[in-house]
Amino acid sequence: MSLIKAEDISKDYQAGEISIKALRDVSFEIEPSSFVSFVGPSGSGKTTLLNLIGCLDKPTQGRLRVAETDVSTLNQKQSASFRGKHIGFIFQDFNLMPVLTVYENIEYPLIMVQEIPVQERKRRIMSLLEAVGMDEQKDKYPGQISGGQKQRVAVARALVTNPELVIADEPTANLDRKTAYMVIDLMKKMRDELKTTFIFSTHDPKIVDEAEIVYTLEDGELTGREAKGGINDVKSI
Amino acid sequence: MLNLFKIATRNLRRYRRRTILTASLIVTGVIFVLVFVAVTGSFKTMMIGQVTDSFLGHIQIHSKGYVASIDSLPLTMNLRSQSVKKVEKALHEIPGIEAYSPRIKFGGMFSNFVETTNIRLNGVYPEKEIKTLPFFLSRIREGGKIIKKKGEILVPELLAKGMKVKVGDMVVVIATNKDGSVNGKQFRVGGILESATGPGGRDGYIHIEDAMEILRMDNMEVSEIAVRLKDFSRLHEAQNKLQDAFSSELNKKGKPIFEVHTWEKLSPFYNIARMIDLMTFFIKLMLVAIVLISIMNVMIMAVYERVREIGTIAAIGTLPGKILSMFVIEGFCLGFIGAVIGSIIGGAVIFIINIYGVTFDFGRQKGLILSTSVNPNDFIVVSVIVIIVSVLASLQPAFKASRMDPVQALRHI
């Protein structure tokens, strides 16, 4: 059973009187525990597609099923609730709350979204802090740690709710090469340990090599799919 | 909920300067309102006390129509002895009546044997008048503490000054009774009476039996009965009870015999008291405007500056209601801080005013010392107003934040 199934999804934006087709009839399936990357030049529709998969936006046409739910029919509140249960997010700019410590940032979704009891919260957070190597920085504020450390905290925050899917839009764009690899390795490690599906977008060809399945987007169309390491069969679209 | 408060207070600390400025504005408003309420409220209470406890009483009972023609002090509208007994019976039966004083009010001529002028006089039972008007004795500037005996008169100070009479001097009072017959009586000046602001504040006083003698009354007929209540706050309740007690007392034409008025109807100071209430209302309205504008401004700024943060928390699944609560609680905290600090400083300012004492003049009364005090309810009311307005002012920006499209918000630079 696929975790994500997109059937001919399109997304149009209205810019004044001009209608822009950001995505055109895109279809794909992603299996659970995959490590998937969407690549393509700027304006190719990567972020739009990730927003649709992440239930932040709705397709103009087509059907999109995520975790056995037709997400194109959810309203604002249902979408928020669905994201809180099933999806974690990692952002290019880390987007940690500056007024919360590292520990509190990771704790935030457990309190505000899932309402997990305090003991269970502590157990999960400490386990993730150790996994991402930030346990000694737990009382620091985002302003007191480096970019790579922030992204590690963001990874922990995305995983703390035990989501089936983590979406990362350009997670390494603001990091140096070494730190970028560290973050990707961390994401892979977490996928291996937690069996969470990771979908990320990137410009960086070397980072792309780390993905097990690579989808290529051009002008809103899915133009290629490449699977590596025998995870999935290689097939052309 | 605690976590929402934690995030809200940390965000307030994050924009420290703006928070301090906004809170200072609210604090200043709260201090100003509390001090204004304390000063004007105390002034009002003090002046009502002066009016009611010096000459008017809390309530007055007259024959129907007497108050409408009070300027001419009509003797034909006096309460007959039978009516007085009915009133006294009712006053004894109704709980909460502390004292009452029957008065015969009349106008006459006052002569020092050289000059003659007109005078308004009250014939009273001295001991009943003192019980009804606790400040009455303090108005007697010179001479005995009260009309000790029949044949003495308390002369209002302006008249005494104009007619050059002193305590111990002999004077003559001449008056016309209700039948048109003129009579006079010699009095010894027993005391000089300080003027009080308001109707009856410049009247002279004699013993009620002297008044009956001048007016050739065989049976006592009184112009009014002044009443003092045990609890002034139950003024209207007592008025209603008295009106109910007299509702069955009708004349031959089926109209009521008595009329019952509170001090409010009898003293023009009531209009000043109303003005003070109105000013207090507008001052509170200004506080509402200050809080509304400052909180709304700061919350709009907060939402605008944190669009990406809102996008982030919305993306990770925070429900719109919680985002709304987050900003509303921030506004609440600002209002709460302002209300608490403002109340503390306001209380301190009122305390300092009391230590140094504020003196003022009211009419001919000089050097009155204002003892400011605030009802604890005023602290609560002002604080509740500030907090409610803070929450209301936060609602619009908070609603906007909660309805933000996460995609747009995350794109915001």
**What is the predicted pLDDT for the residue at A92?**
85
Q: What percent of chain B has pLDDT over 90?
A: 41
The verdict on a CB contact (< 8 Å) between A97 and B316 is: no
* Interface membership of A15 toward B (CB under 8 Å): no
Per-residue pLDDT, A207: 82
Question: Is the pLDDT score of A147 beyond 90?
Answer: no
Of A80, A97, A157, the CB nearest to B314: A80
Q: pLDDT digits over B55-65, tens only?
A: 889 999 998 88
pLDDT class for B208, splitting at 50, 70, 90? very high
User: Inter-chain contact A109–B317, Cβ cutoff 8 Å?
Assistant: yes
Yes or no, beta carbons of A83 and B317 under 8 Å apart: yes
Inter-chain touch B407–A80, beta carbons under 8 Å:
no
State the amino acid at position B413 in one-letter form.
I
Least confidently predicted of B70-74, B262-266, B395-399: B70-74
pLDDT > 90? residue B14: no
CA distance A234 to chain B (A): 33
Burial code (b: 16+ CB inside 10 Å, e: under 16) for B94-122 equals beebebbbbbbbbbbebbbeeeeeebbbb
Q: How many CB pairs under 8 A join A and B?
A: 69
- Which phi and psi angles does B172 have, rounded to 5°? -125, 135
What is the distance between the alpha carbons of residues B53 and B98, in angstroms, rounded to a whole number? 13
Instruction: List CB contacts (< 8 A) between A113 and chain B.
Output: 316-319
pLDDT at A236: 38
Contacts of A57 in chain B (CB under 8 A): 407
Q: Which residue has the tokens 């209301």?
A: B392
Interchain proximity A95–B14, CB inside 8 Å: no
Residue B200 above 80 pLDDT? no
Summarize pLDDT for B354-395 with one digit per residue, the tens: 888 777 776 656 667 777 878 888 899 999 999 999 999 999
- What is the strand order of the sheet A69-70 is part of? A18-30, A4-15, A61-66, A69-70
* Whether the Cβ atoms of residue B158 and residue B210 lie closer than 8 Å to each other: no
Do B318 and A112 lie within an 8 Å CB cutoff? Answer: yes
User: What pLDDT score was predicted for residue B265?
Assistant: 87
Residue A64 has pLDDT above 50, yes or no: yes
